[in-house]
Amino acid sequence: MLNNSRLTVMTLLDSLSGYEFEEKMVRVFEKRGYENVRQLPRSGDKGRDIVMEESDGTAVVVECKHTESVGRPVVQKLHSATTTYGHDGEKRGMVVTTGRFTSPAREYAEKTGIELIDGRDLREIGEEVGMDMYNGRIEIICDRAFEIGDAEATVRDAFRDIENFPLSSARNPRTAATLHPVLAVETRVDATFETSVGVIHRANDRSTAYIDASRSGGASSSLPSEVSEMVSKDLGRTDRTVGFSEEKVEKDFDEGNVQRFEGTEEDYIDPVVKEMRQKHTTTVTYTGDNNVTYQKECVPKESDVDVVNFEPVYLPRIRANVEVGDYDYPYEWYETTTAKKVTEDGVHRCVQCGESDDDTYTFCRNCGSINCSSHIKTERLEGEPVCTGCAVKERFALKKKYFYDEENLQEFRDEYEEMEVHEKAMENKPLVGATAVVLAVLLYFVIQSFV
C-alpha cells in the first residue's frame, strides 16, 4: 500500500513534424512584429519554408529545421534560396532550428550574413514574446510533485458513516493510480471595439483555462471547476520536488498507469483560443451620432487572444475497490497536496435501487450489501440489519418478518409455535394497537348506550 508517497507534475518536449515546426514559427514571427508572414507549400519550396517582411520592407527568407544538429549544407542552401528569391528590395536569410548549429555552419553564416537561431535562442525568444516554446508532442518531465496521502485511510474514511459496517473490511483495498494529463493554459485577451462614435467596448482579461488533455488527437475539454481549482493551487507550490518513474507508481499501487498527452501544443491551444473568444463575445448597445440606438456583437479576433503560458501537468487520480461479500465498492478521487475531489462514490449508494442521496446507509453483514433506509430491515432473531435483497421473508401474525436464511426462519417457526396467543399477537404490534383502539371505541359506545 501507498504511504506518504508522491506523484509528479510533468512537462516534457518531444518532437513535432517539420511542417508543424514551421507552423509554430509563423506564430512566433507574427508575435515578434514581422509582417506578411506566410508558410510556403511543402512541395517546391526551393529551400524556403517561410517568407516575411520587416517594417522597412526587407524580405526575410527562413529555413526551419527541427533536428538536433544543422550543418553547413543547410545554411549554404538557404543562402542560395535567398539570393534567387524574387524581391525588389533588400532581402536576407535566416535558419531556425530547435537543435544546434555546427561550427562550419556558423562560419558560413557569418561570411554570408545569414542569421542563425538555435534552440537556446528560441527559448529566449519565447520569453520575449510571452510564449513558451514547447515545440513537440508533450510527454513527461517534472520539476514539481503532487503528494498522495494514504489511499487506505481515504477509503476507510469513506466507509465510516455507513451504519453497521466493520471498518476492518476496508483494509487492503485494491488500488490503481492513473496520472491524468491536464493543461494549464494562461491566456490574455486584449480587444477594443470602435464605431464612428468611438470605443464602445473593451475586453481586457488574463485567465487560465484548465483542460482535459487525455483525449486522442489533441481534442480537449474544460475540466470541472473543482478540479481546476485543485490544479491551480498546486501549480504555485515549489516545495514538492521529487524524481518520477513509472516503476514507482506501479510499486506503490496494485496498478499504475500514465495517460499520454496525445496531441501537440498547437492541438490544445487552438480550442482554448476559440473558447476565450466565445467567452468574451458580447452584444453592446450604443447610441450613434444620429441619436439612433444600435446593437453590435463584439467578437474578439484570434489576434486579440494570446497564449502567454502553457503548462502540461499530470493530475493523480486514485481508484480503490473494496470487495465485501458479494459486492464491490469502487471509490475514485483526484488528489493533490492541497485537496481531494471524489469523482466516483460507490460506497454511498444503495445496491438495491441505486439511490445515492439518502441520509442514512446501512451495511448488511448477511450478504455484504450497502442499502438505503427503504431497503434495510431488522432480522427477527438476531436483531441486526438485513437487506431486502437477501432476506428470507414470511408473515407471522399478518406481519412480514425478515430472516438471514431458511435456518433462521425455521428456528423462529419453532419458537413461534411455543408462544402464547398474546405473545404471537405481539409479533404485529401495530395490528395489536389498532385492535385495542377499535375495542376501546366499541366499549365506549356500549357504555354510552347504557347511560
Beta strands in 112-173 (DSSP E): 115-117, 139-147
Of all residues in the chain, the percent with pLDDT exceeding 90 is: 46
Asked if pLDDT for residue 259 goes beyond 80, the answer is: no
Q: In angstroms, rounded to a whole number, what is the distance separating the alpha carbons of residues 109 and 300?
A: 41
Average pLDDT of span 395-399? 89
pLDDT one-digit tens code per residue, 263-298? 666 667 778 888 899 999 999 999 998 999 999 999
For the segment 322-326, the average pLDDT, to the nearest whole number, is 93
Domain boundaries, the chain: 6-13+138-318, 18-129
When pLDDT is cut at 50, 70 and 90, the band that residue 162 belongs to is very high
Q: Which amino acid, residue 86?
A: G
Alpha-carbon gap, residue 28 to 37, rounded angstroms: 10
pLDDT at 435 over 80: no
Contacts of range 411-417, beta carbons closer than 8 Å, 24 or more positions apart: 411/381, 412/380, 412/381
| Contact indicator for 276, 305 with CB cutoff of 8 Å | yes
Looking at domain 18-129, its CATH architecture is 3-Layer(aba) Sandwich (3.40)
Q: Cα dist. 182→161, 209, 224, 231, 334 in Å?
A: 33, 10, 12, 9, 12
Over pLDDT 70: what percentage of the chain?
A: 78
Phi–psi pair at 422, nearest 5 degrees: -65, -30
CA atoms within 13 A on the CB side of 402: 16
**444 or 157, which is more confident:** 157
Please report the DSSP string for 271-305 in residue order: HHHHHHHHHT-EEEEEE-TTS-EEEEEE---GGGE
**pLDDT tens-digit series, residues 26-74:** 888 988 899 999 998 865 556 689 999 999 999 999 998 888 789 999 9
The dihedral of CA 14, 17, 18, 23: what is its sign? negative
43-47, 258-262, 376-380, 426-430: lowest mean pLDDT where?
43-47
- For 225-235, write each residue's pLDDT tens digit: 888 888 887 77
What's the pTM value of the predicted model, to 2 decimals?
A: 0.61
109 to 49, 76, 83, 106, 132: CA distances (angstroms): 18, 8, 14, 5, 27
339-392 residue pLDDT tens: 889 999 999 999 999 999 999 999 999 999 999 999 999 999 999 999 999 999
